[in-house]
Amino acid sequence: MNSTIPSTPPTNTTPDVDAAHSSSLEVRDLTKTFGEHQVLRGVSLKITAGRTACVIGPSGSGKSTLLHCVNRLEEPTSGDVLLGGRSMLAQSPDALRRRVGTVFQHFNLFPHKTVLGNIVLPLRTVRGLSAQQAEQIAMERLAEVGLAAKAKHRPANLSGGQQQRVAIARALAMEPEVMLFDEATSALDPELVKGVLALMHGLAERGMTMLVVTHEMGFAREVADEVVFMDRGLVVEHAEPAAIFEDPVTSRLKGFLSQVL
Partner 1 sequence: MFENILRSFFDTEAMWAVVPDILAYGLRNTLVLALAATVIGIVLGMVLAVMGVSRSAWLRVPARVYTDVFRGLPAILTILLIGQGLAPLTSQWFRGNPYPLGILALSLISSAYIGEIFRSGIQSVDTGQLKACRALGMSYASAMRLVVVPQGIRRVLPALVNQFIAIVKDSSLVYFLGLLTSQRELFRVGQDAAVTSGNLSPLVAVGICYLIITVPLTYLVNWTDNRLRTGGRVAQVVDAQAEAKAAEIERTDRELAAKAGR
How many Cβ atoms sit within 10 Å of the Cβ of residue 68? 20
Query: By CB neighbour count within 10 A (0-12 exposed, 13-18 middle, 19+ buried), where does 207 fall?
Result: middle
Closer by beta carbon to partner 1, 115 or else 167: 167
Q: How far is CA 232 from CA 32, 66, 181, 204, 228, in A?
A: 12, 12, 20, 28, 13
* Among 163, 207, 223, 210, residue whose Cα is nearest residue 182: 210
Does 121 bind partner 1 (CB under 8 A)? Our answer is yes
Query: Which are the contacts of 52, defined by CB distance < 8 A and separation ≥ 6?
Result: 204, 208, 209, 210, 212, 223, 224, 225, 226
110 interacts with partner 1 by CB under 8 A = yes
Per CB under 8 A, does 104 bind partner 1? yes
Q: How many residues bind partner 1 (CB under 8 A)?
A: 31
* By the rule CB under 8 A, 128 interacts with partner 1: no
2-41 residues near partner 1, rule: CB under 8 A: 2-4
Q: Choose the binding region for partner 1 from 23-31, 144-152, 153-161, 200-208 (rule: CB under 8 A).
A: 153-161
Helix (H) or strand (E) holding 119: helix 115-125
Segment interacting with partner 1, rule: CB under 8 A, options 51-59, 102-110, 209-217, 253-261? 102-110
Residue choice 15, 62, 76, 122 for contact with partner 1 (CB under 8 A)? 122
Other Cβ atoms within 10 Å of 86 Cβ, number: 12
Among 21, 41, 154, 232, binds partner 1 (CB under 8 A): 154
Q: Can you give the binding site for partner 1, defined by CB under 8 A?
A: 1-4, 71, 73, 93-94, 97-98, 100-102, 104, 106, 108-112, 121-122, 125-126, 154, 156-157, 167, 170-171, 174
